[in-house]
Amino acid sequence: MQFEINATKREAQGSSASRRLRRAGKVPGILYGGGGAAQMIELDHNELFQALRKEAFHSSIINLVIGDAKEMCLLRDVQMHPVKRQIRHVDFQRIDATHEIHQKVPLHFVNAEIAPGVKLDGGMVQHVMTELDVKCLPKDLPEYIEVDLKDLKGGQSLHVSQLTLPAGVEAVHHGEGDPVVVTIVVRGAGAASEEEAAPAETQIITEKKPAAASEKKPEKK
């Protein structure tokens, strides 16, 4: 999926210029990377705000229209006002259609309600990851990756290596091992063993009491 959004070149720079842009309903931004020079840009706040409300916009190819030119890019950073619903700044990174890109893609979990660990064991789905870092050519970038839980039993986990990825897409993760994506936790599984251990502990305490009672000091005559 690809998005298209309009931008114009930004000449004035600095904090004062950025404040004037925001008062005028614009968002200051920057386009960088891809072998080209960094370009200061400004975008319409409302258009960008509506685009950011769509999950796919954060992980899809974006065609940035600047005048008569189109720049293929990815959204890299968004700075929001801590209180107001206002975008303070936005960063885009140029990409090349012939080179692989790295991008985080959201995970969509399906069939949790029919998973044996939930339906039969009364377990709860615990999402360890909500997005996956992938590498692929821009044309192969998926909007999201589906994670099917229909066969997951209580206490079982799905790992990155078990995900079904679209053609041309490869998972990227740092460090060793095979990270867990999702697991089904069955509550109370450990409580039974604790209850079984409790009588033994009580018995030990009970056995100690007679011994302590017999160790009385002899009465002085």
What pLDDT tens digit does each residue of the chain (221 aa) get?
A: 789 999 999 987 888 999 999 999 999 999 999 888 999 999 999 999 999 999 999 999 999 999 899 999 999 999 999 999 999 999 999 999 999 999 999 999 999 999 999 999 999 999 999 999 999 999 999 999 999 999 999 999 999 999 999 999 999 988 889 999 999 999 875 443 333 333 434 343 334 444 444 444 444 44
Beta bridge partner(s), residue 214: none
Alpha-carbon gap, residue 129 to 39, rounded angstroms: 34
Q: What is the pTM of this model?
A: 0.76
Alpha-carbon gap, residue 180 to 161, rounded angstroms: 9
Three-class DSSP category at 113: helix
Alpha-carbon gap, residue 74 to 58, rounded angstroms: 8
Domains and CATH numbers, the chain: 2-94 (2.40.240.10), 101-191 (2.170.120.20)
